[in-house]
Structure 1
Amino acid sequence: MISAALRNPITVIVIILGIVIFSLLALVSIPVDIFPKLNLPTIYIAQPYGGMAPDQMEGFIATRYQNQLLYVTGIKDIEVKNVQGLCLVKCTFYEDVNMAQVSGEVANQVNRVMSYMPPGTVPPTVVRFDASSLPVGELVFSSKRASLNEMQDLASTLIRPMFSQIPGASAPPPFGGNERTIVVKVNPEAMAGYQLTPDDIVQAVVDNNQISPAGNVRIGNLTVITPNNTVVENSEDFLNIPLLKKSGPTVFLRDVATVEDAADVTVGYALVNGKRSVYIPVTKTADASTMDVVNALKKKLPEMQALLPDYVELKYEFDQSVYVVQAVKSLATEGILGALLTGLMIFLFLKDIRGSAIVVLNIPIAILAAVLLLSLTGQTINIMTLSGLALAVGILVDEATVSIENIHQHLEMG
C-alpha cells in the first residue's frame, strides 16, 4: 500500500481532499447529542381510578391489562405496579420490533380492555418511553407580582403550545404551580336543611355550565346562529345557580355554599435559585439533535417572552447542551495542541519542516475521517464518542512521532 501511494501521489492527494470535504459536510449535518442512541423499547400505561385500593386495582384492572396485552407482537415482559388510585403497567419489547406497529397494537388492546373496566373508569395515559428522549433544559417563569397559579396558567395556555413550532422538541405540562380551579365549599347543615345531597349540587353545576348547540333560526334573508350557551364567565355567577325549583322559594347555590376562584390541591412544588417558581421541562425526541433543539428554542425565546405580561420573565435554565459544547471544545483544543506540539518537537529535533507539516495535518484529518465514519454508520457526536476521539488524539500523536522518526532513521541508513 505504501509503494502504491508513493507511485500515485496525485491520487492520494485527491482521496485526502475528498475525505476532508465530505468530513466537513458530515460535521455540519451530524446530530450532536448528550448520550448515544439507546434502544430500550418500552411502553407505559397509567390507568387511574380515584379511591380504589391497591388490591382492587390488581384484581379489577391490572389483570385485564396483563391478559389482553399478551396478544401484542414482540412483547417481552409485562410489569405492574399498583397503588391507591393508580395502576402502572410497563410493557417491554424485544429490540428488533417495529415500535410504530407495536404502539398501534397496544392502543387497540387498551381500547378493548376499556370495555371490561368498572363503571366510571377514565381512559388511561399511554406513553412510549425512549431512553434517548432526555430533558435538555427548563423554561423557568419568574415574577415579583404574578402568583404561581397565574404563571402556571400562562405557561399552559400561551407558552407550551409554541413547542409545536420547534422541530424535535416536546414539553410536558408545567410544574411548580397549581391549575386554576373553582372551589365550591358546601355547608353540610344548610345542605341537609334543604334535603339536598352532594350529587344534587354537582349535577346542578354541570347542567348550568355547558354549551349546547341549538342550531339556526331563519329570519327573513338571515340565518342566525342560536347557541344555548350557559357557560359561567365569572366565579361569582356560580352562586346564582338554582338547586331546587319546586313550590316555594328557589334554592340557589349561594344558600348552601361559597365559591372561590382558587387553585387545585398542591401536590408538589419547584424551587429555582431558592425561590418557588414554575417551569416547563424541555425534552427532545429520540431522533432529534440536542444542539438543534436548544438553538431553535433560544431563537423562539423572544417570541415567547412577547406573549407574556411585562411583569413575568422567562429564562432558559439548566442547559444540558453546555456539556456537549464543552466536550467538543476540549476535543478541538486537544487536537490542535497535540498537532502543534508534535510538529514543533519534530522540527526542533529532526529539523524537518515537511515532516512537521505532515504531523500537523495528520491529526485533524484523522479526526475528520472518524466523524465521517460516525455519520455514515448513523451515530451521533455525543459524550461517549467524543471521549473516544480524545483518547485517539493521544494515540495519533504517539504514532505520528514514531513514524516520522522511523522514516528519518531509514533515510539516514540509506
Structure 2
Amino acid sequence: MNAISSWSIRNPVPTIVLFLSLGIAGVYGFMQLRTNNMPDIDLPTVTVTVAQPGAAPSEMEVQVARVIENTVATLEGVDDVSTSISEGSSVAAIEFTLGTDPETATNDVRNAVSGVQSSLPAAAQTPVVAKVNATGNSVLTFVVEAPTMSPDALSWYIDNDVAKVLLGVDGVSKITRSGGVDRVIRVELDPDRLAALGISAGDVSQTLASNNVNQPGGRANIGGQEQSVRTLASATTVEVLADTRIALSGAGDVKLSDLGTVVDSWEKPRQAAYLDGRRVVAFNVYRSVGSSEIDVVKAARAAIADMGAKTTAAKFTEVTSSSGFVQESYDAAFEALWLGAVLAIGVVWLFLRDIRATLVSAVAMPLSLIPTFAVMAAFDISLNNITLLALSLVVGILVDDAIVEIENIVRHMRQTGISAYQAAIEAADEIGLAVVATTATIVAVFLPVAFMPGVPGKFFFSFAVAVCVSVLFSLLVARMLTPLMGAYLVRAGGHDEDDTPAWVPTYLWLLRKALDHRWITLLAGIAFFAGSMMLATHLPTEFMAAADRGRSMISVELQPGSTIEQTTAVVQDITRRLEKEPAVESVFATIGTAASSGGGPSQS
C-alpha cells in the first residue's frame, strides 16, 4: 500500500483516468437510484383467497379457513399464518421466513391448496393464490366525484377504466377502491306466484345458472377455414334475462318476469368513504417492491391528470400522498450532507491554514461519495433515510485520511525545505500503514451491521454498504489522488509558524494541566464514561423514530354486529368535531375498508 502512493505521483495520467472513470460511473449510478422513504424489504408473503357467496363467517372459518391454514402451516419456511374472514370471503396470508424465494413459496402454497381443494365446500369458488408484490401502505389516494354517474357506474369506472390506466404505469402494483358499490342483477320473486305455479326459488336459480352459460361448441369449416364455435347463452341485458323461460314442474313454461321483478341494482354497501363529511368514492395506488416512490407518484399523477383532461364527467381530487414527506426527507438529507461538507472544509482550513492544502483535502469528499453511488446502484440500493443518514454520518470521516496525508506532506516541506514532489513521495510512504489501519478500523466497526439478522438486518444492510464503501473509496483517494495533488499543487511556504490561532495557547495550557494531573484526568474520564452509560439506560428505545408527516390517524372499532349505518354515524360525529379544530385542513374517512397512505386514513 506504500508503493501505490509513489506510483501514483510518478504516473499521474492513469490515476487521473481512474478517478474520472469512477466519477462518471458514480454520476450514472446516482441517476439510476430510486428515491424511497425506507429500504425495500421483500417479505415473502403469499395470500390465498377463497370466496363462497352467502356463507356466514362462522361457516367460512370452519369449512374453509381451518382447512387452508392446516395445509399451509406444514410447508417448509412458514413463519406465520393469519386469516381475515368476512361474509362469503376468506383471505389467508402466509408469511415465510426472510430469505425464502417468493416464487418458490408461491408455488409451494399453490400446490398445497390444490391438494385440499376437494375438501372445500362445493359452493366455494376456486382458491386464488397470489404473491404479495406491493409495499405496505398506498402511496397515493384520490377521490373521484361524478354527479352524473350512478354509484355502480362510478365504481365500475374506477375498477375498470382507472385501474387499467394506472396499472399500466411502471411501478404500480395494484389499485384498491374505498367506498362505492358492486353492481348486481337482482331477481325479486313473488312467493304467491311461485306457490300458485308449483315452482320453488331454487328451481328458478338452478335454471338461470344452467342457461346463462357460454360454452365451447367445437370446430367447423367455414369458407374453407377451420373456425372455433361457441354457444352463447348468457343474457346480455336485463330485458333478455327477464324473458328467460322457466320450466314448470308439470308442463309448459313461464317467463322469469311473470315470477317477479328483475332489477339492475347494486349490493348493499359494505364499505364507504367520506371526505370532509360528504360521501365519495376513492381509490388507492400501491407501488411494487423495487420501484421508486417519487417516480411512481409522479407518473400516477400524470396519468390521472391526463384522464381528468379527457373527461368532464369525473373530477379527481388528491387526498393524500406519501411522496411529499419522502421528497422533504430527501431534500433535508442532502442539505445536511452539503452543509456538513462545507463545515468540514472550514474546519480543515482552520487547522491547516493553507488554502491549497485545504482544497486538496476537500476533494476527497466528492471523489469518495460519488463512486459510492455506483456501488449502491449495483446492489440495487435506493436513496432513502437510512442510506442518506449513512452518507451524512461519514461525510466528515471521508477527509480524515486526506488530512493526515496532506498535513504530513506540508510538514516535510516546512521542516526539510524539499520540494512538494519529493515531500509527497516521502510523506505518503511514511504514514501509509497508519492511514490503512485507520480506515480498516472504521470498516470493522460498521461492516458487521450488514450481517444483522431479521428485519433490522434488511434495513441496515444498505447503511453498512454506504458507510463501508464510501470510507474505502476515501482510502483510495488518500493513498493515490491526495499525494498526487499534493506533489503538483501544494507550494512551499503556506502560513507562518507564528501565525497561530488565538485558541491554541489556551488549548496548550489545558493540555499541560491535564498531563500534570494524570490521575485526576483519568478518573474524570472514567466518571464521565460511567455517567454517560447510566444516562443511556434511561433513554427510550424504538425501532424507528416517529416522524411528523402532518397527519393523524384515528381508528374506530364498534362492537361486533354493528351496521355500517351505525359506524357511519360515529365517524361523521368524529369528523364534525375534528373540523372545528383550526389546525385541521381536511378529514378523510373510510368505513369497512383499509385505505392507509403513509400515515393516512386507516380502517374505521
1:387 is aligned to 389
Task: Measure the CA separation in 2 of the matches of 1:37 and 1:219.
Answer: 56
How far has the Cα of 1:278 moved from its partner? 2.6
- Pick from 338, 341, 355: which aligns with 1:339? 341
Q: 1:38 to 1:218 in 2, by over 3 A?
A: closer
1:158 and 2:157 matched: no
Does 1 or 2 have the higher relative contact order (CA < 8 Å, sep 6+)? Answer: 1
How far has the Cα of 1:334 moved from its partner? 2.5
Task: Measure the CA separation in 1 of the matches of 2:221 and 2:8.
Answer: 89
Matches within 5 A, 1:83-162: 85-129=88-132, 132=135, 134-162=137-165
Percent identity for Structure 1 against Structure 2: 22
Q: 1:145 to 1:49 in 2, by over 3 A?
A: closer
Q: Assess if the C-alpha contact under 8 Å between 1:152 and 1:175 holds in 2.
A: no
- Pick from 337, 349, 352: which aligns with 2:354? 352
Matches within 5 A, 1:211-230: 211=214, 229-230=232-233
How far has the Cα of 1:191 moved from its partner? 3.0
2:175 is aligned to 172
Task: Measure the CA separation in 2 of the matches of 1:319 and 1:26.
Answer: 27
Count of residue pairs the alignment pairs up: 412
Task: Measure the CA separation in 2 of the matches of 1:173 and 1:163.
Answer: 11
Deviation sequence 1:147-176 (CA, Å, 0-9, x none): 432221112222212345333322234332
TM-score scaled by length of structure 1: 0.80
Matches within 5 A, 1:206-355: 206-207=209-210, 209-211=212-214, 229-244=232-247, 251-272=254-275, 274-301=277-304, 303-305=306-308, 309-314=311-316, 318-343=320-345, 352-355=354-357
> Structure 2: which amino acid aligns with 1:374?
M
> Structure 2: which amino acid aligns with 1:385?
T
User: For structure 2, which runs of at least 5 residues remain unmatched after alignment?
Assistant: 416-604
How far has the Cα of 1:27 moved from its partner? 0.5
How far has the Cα of 1:378 moved from its partner? 3.4
Deviation sequence 1:41-81 (CA, Å, 0-9, x none): 22222334345566654544344334433564433454556
Q: Assess if the C-alpha contact under 8 Å between 1:204 and 1:241 holds in 2.
A: no
Task: Measure the CA separation in 2 of the matches of 1:270 and 1:192.
Answer: 42
Task: Measure the CA separation in 1 of the matches of 2:323 and 2:69.
Answer: 40
Task: Measure the CA separation in 2 of the matches of 1:311 and 1:150.
Answer: 11
Task: Measure the CA separation in 2 of the matches of 1:75 and 1:67.
Answer: 12
Task: Measure the CA separation in 1 of the matches of 2:406 and 2:221.
Answer: 98
How far has the Cα of 1:364 moved from its partner? 3.2
Q: 1:173 to 1:257 in 2, by over 3 A?
A: farther
1:135 counterpart SS class = coil
1:185 and 2:213 matched: no
Q: Assess if the C-alpha contact under 8 Å between 2:71 and 2:112 holds in 1.
A: yes
Task: Measure the CA separation in 2 of the matches of 1:265 and 1:132.
Answer: 31
How far has the Cα of 1:118 moved from its partner? 2.5
2:549 is aligned to none
2:480 is aligned to none
Deviation sequence 1:185-216 (CA, Å, 0-9, x none): 23333333333322133234445544456678
1:364 is aligned to 366
Task: Measure the CA separation in 1 of the matches of 2:226 and 2:129.
Answer: 44
Q: 1:274 to 1:381 in 2, by over 3 A?
A: farther
Structure holding more strand per residue: 1
Deviation sequence 1:332-388 (CA, Å, 0-9, x none): 322333334554566688653324434554433333243333233332212221222
1:154 counterpart SS class = helix
> Structure 2: which amino acid aligns with 1:334?
A
> Structure 1: which amino acid aligns with 2:333?
L
2:285 counterpart SS class = strand
2:580 is aligned to none
How far has the Cα of 1:35 moved from its partner? 1.9
**Which protein has the larger Cα radius of gyration, Structure 1 or Structure 2?**
2
> Structure 1: which amino acid aligns with 2:111?
N
2:516 is aligned to none
Q: 1:249 to 1:75 in 2, by over 3 A?
A: closer
TM-score scaled by length of structure 2: 0.58
How far has the Cα of 1:267 moved from its partner? 0.7
Matches within 5 A, 1:25-104: 25-50=28-53, 52=55, 56-69=59-72, 72-79=75-82, 85-104=88-107
Task: Measure the CA separation in 1 of the matches of 2:67 and 2:305.
Answer: 49
Task: Measure the CA separation in 1 of the matches of 2:130 and 2:136.
Answer: 12
How far has the Cα of 1:264 moved from its partner? 1.8
Q: 1:55 to 1:329 in 2, by over 3 A?
A: closer
Task: Measure the CA separation in 1 of the matches of 2:136 and 2:88.
Answer: 28
1:47 counterpart SS class = strand
2:178 counterpart SS class = coil
Q: 1:205 to 1:116 in 2, by over 3 A?
A: closer
Q: 1:331 to 1:343 in 2, by over 3 A?
A: same
How far has the Cα of 1:241 moved from its partner? 3.1
